[in-house]
Amino acid sequence: MIATPEIVQTSAEMAAVIHLAIPRAEMMKAFGPAVGELIAELTRQGLTPQGAVFAHHLTMSAATFDFELGFRIDAPVKANGRVKPGALPAAKVARTIYSGPYEGLPAAWGEFNQWLHANGHRQADDLWEVYSVGPQSTPDPANWRTELTRPLRD
């Protein structure tokens, strides 16, 4: 289900983000409009997304997703409405690629977390997903690719 994870050091990356704290059940309803809002504001400011959209989950509970949805950018974004400057942090992380539909992400995270535990890694509280290949690229969910990244405490 997931590729063999690897441990890497990331660099801080500038981003344009929208912060959302929503019930898990509303994720699919909120995601698309927020992406559209980000793209519209970046276009208005003459900025181009650098890569795919990401979701940086700050905290997670059984009921709520508290996250920043964003795009990496190579010049600062000016805050406007819900769009704000943000960043993906510099950190030592474990990273893997999940292949398949978004409905499989919980199981992929479960497999990834088991690998982290089995290999003696302690996870930080946050995590992020980069939706590198999705419905914007191909209609076949079997070909979708999501990069899973988990900062480490060790």
Q: Supply the CATH number for residue 61's domain.
A: 3.20.80.10
pLDDT interval class at 10 (50, 70, 90): very high
* Domain limits for position 121: 6-151
pLDDT of 62: 85
Write down the mean pLDDT value for the chain. Answer: 96
Amino acid letter for position 85: P
Whether residue 2 is predicted with pLDDT greater than 80 in this model: the reply is: yes
Residue 96 or 62, more confident:
96
Whether residue 61 is predicted with pLDDT greater than 90 in this model: the reply is: no
Q: Is residue 43 part of a domain?
A: yes
pLDDT of 37: 98
Q: Is residue 118 part of a domain?
A: yes
pLDDT of 85: 98
**Which of 84, 85, 30, 19 has its CA nearest to residue 57?**
19
Q: Which of 23-32, 87-96, 108-117 has the lowest mean pLDDT?
A: 23-32
Residue whose tokens read 């997670």:
60
pLDDT interval class at 136 (50, 70, 90): confident
Amino acid letter for position 32: G
In this predicted model, what pLDDT tens digit does every residue of 96-118 receive, in sequence order? 999 999 999 999 999 999 999 99
Q: Is residue 1 part of a domain?
A: no
Number of domains in the chain: 1
Q: Is residue 46 part of a domain?
A: yes
What whole-number distance in Å separates Cα of residue 123 and Cα of residue 113? 9
Q: Is residue 60 part of a domain?
A: yes
pTM of the full structure:
0.95
